[in-house]
Amino acid sequence: MSALVLGIETSCDETAASVVDAGREILSNVIATQIPWHVEFGGVVPEIASRKHLEFINPVIKKALSDAGVGLEDIAAVAVTYGPGLVGGLLVGLSAAKAIAYSRNLPLIGVNHIEGHIYANFLAYHDLEAPLVCLTVSGGHTTLLYIEEMGEYTIIGQTRDDAAGEAFDKVSRVLGLGYPGGPAVEKSAKLGNPRAYDFPKALPGELDFSFSGLKTAVINTFHNAKQKNQEINLNDLAASFQESVVEVLVEKTMMAAQQKNVRNILLSGGVASNERLREALGDACAKAGKKLYYPPKILCTDNAAMIACAGYYRWKKGYASQWDLNADPRLGL
């Protein structure tokens, strides 16, 4: 029996399709980015994103099948992101997935985008076993999860306002560093002094996050300097901001691992590709006798391989979505 799953991901500004065998082996992973169409606006424009998904979805799926050397007749199930995300983009992916699954009489597996990010680690490390603590950090989410067994998640900490990646994007836009904000801030930070500014760190001693105050402090520092015609080193500002975010993420993740008495820690989501975060969390894990896992960068940002992987394990548990599955832009775990 075939174990090939076709994954489809259209939750934000990447149109992606992938074929994964038995939830582990990536046969293809095609991603069409929309960055060139959003860069002039300094962020994702939902209307543009939806239109580009419509334009890209069929060619991307065809290329994913071609790269994998398979046809639709070889696919055993179709997995698709149905939330959270931009509703217009989600509907494009859902429509394509439903059409393929219905026409081929295949199971349709709806996948939570956040769950997909978690499963990206299982594509990279085949020996991972629960219990685990996972930090999922991206443009839309900053969440600490306790994974007692695969498929069973407990949220033990989450942002009360801005996600970490969202704060990166907003700071980058105000400082004029470029888009996407995460890589732009990281590039600038490498040239700066991370101790040049002492920014606030919210909710000490708690597992919940808050980045709104930090973001505002950075932006106010920048605007105050401009109003007074004072020179300001943007690299120092970026480095200090990034270091503050990283310190908070590392501190709370290690606190969660200690409270849950787990040895293995997962890092996932787009911000997981940040080299300073990987370094700092890796150092903290080494000192505490814990082991850190994070996917290769191509699997940190939005992709369909992670959706196919998560979909496979849901399918193997006997789960299949109904045909009235709808997009849920505010879907939680």
Interval 32-60: pLDDT, tens? 999 999 988 888 999 999 999 999 999 99
Residue 294 pLDDT more than 80?
A: yes
Residues 6+ apart with CB under 8 A from 272: 135, 137, 278, 294, 295, 300
Instruction: Tell me: do 143 and 264 sit in the same domain.
Output: yes
pLDDT score of 106: 98
Cα–Cα distance, 64 to 68 (Å, whole number): 6
In three-state form (DSSP H/G/I as H, E/B as E, the rest C), the secondary structure along the chain is CCCEEEEEECCCCEEEEEEEECCCEEEEEEEEECHHHHHHHCCCCHHHHHHHHHHHHHHHHHHHHHHHCCCHHHCCEEEEEEECCCHHHHHHHHHHHHHHHHHHCCCEEEEEHHHHHHHHHHHHCCCCCCCEEEEEECCCCEEEEEEEECCEEEEEEEECCCCHHHHHHHHHHHHCCCCCHHHHHHHHHCCCCCCCCCCCCCCCCCCCECCHHHHHHHHHHHHHHHHCCCCCCHHHHHHHHHHHHHHHHHHHHHHHHHHHCCCEEEEECHHHHCHHHHHHHHHHHHHHCCEEECCCHHHHCCCCHHHHHHHHHHHHCCCCCCCCCCCCCCCCC
Residue 1 pLDDT more than 80?
A: no
Neighbouring C-alpha atoms within 13 Å toward the C-beta of 290: 27
Instruction: Tell me: do 149 and 289 sit in the same domain.
Output: yes
Q: Which residue has the higher pLDDT, 271 or 43?
A: 271
Instruction: Tell me: do 61 and 135 sit in the same domain.
Output: no
Instruction: Tell me: do 280 and 182 sit in the same domain.
Output: yes
Range of the domain at 48: 4-119+300-316
321, part of any domain: no
CATH code where residue 230 lies: 3.30.420.40
- Across 315-333, average pLDDT: 94
Instruction: Tell me: do 81 and 170 sit in the same domain.
Output: no
286, part of any domain: yes
145, part of any domain: yes
329, part of any domain: no
10, part of any domain: yes
Neighbouring C-alpha atoms within 13 Å toward the C-beta of 294: 25
Mutual angle of helices 234-260 and 164-175, in 10-degree steps: 180
* Residue bearing tokens 């994103």: 49
Instruction: Tell me: do 103 and 135 sit in the same domain.
Output: no
Cα–Cα distance, 194 to 240 (Å, whole number): 4
Percentage with pLDDT > 90 across the chain: 92
18, part of any domain: yes
Residue 139 pLDDT more than 90?
A: no
Q: What is the pTM of this model?
A: 0.94
Instruction: Tell me: do 133 and 203 sit in the same domain.
Output: yes
Question: pLDDT by residue (tens digit) across 91-113?
Answer: 999 999 999 999 999 999 999 99
Instruction: Tell me: do 36 and 50 sit in the same domain.
Output: yes
Instruction: Tell me: do 30 and 102 sit in the same domain.
Output: yes
Instruction: Tell me: do 170 and 63 sit in the same domain.
Output: no
Mutual angle of helices 212-227 and 234-260, in 10-degree steps: 170
Number of structural domains the chain divides into: 2
Question: Where does the pLDDT of residue 332 fall: very low under 50, low under 70, confident under 90, or very high at 90 and above?
Answer: confident
Instruction: Tell me: do 154 and 181 sit in the same domain.
Output: yes
Residue 256 pLDDT more than 80?
A: yes
325, part of any domain: no
332, part of any domain: no
Instruction: Tell me: do 287 and 146 sit in the same domain.
Output: yes
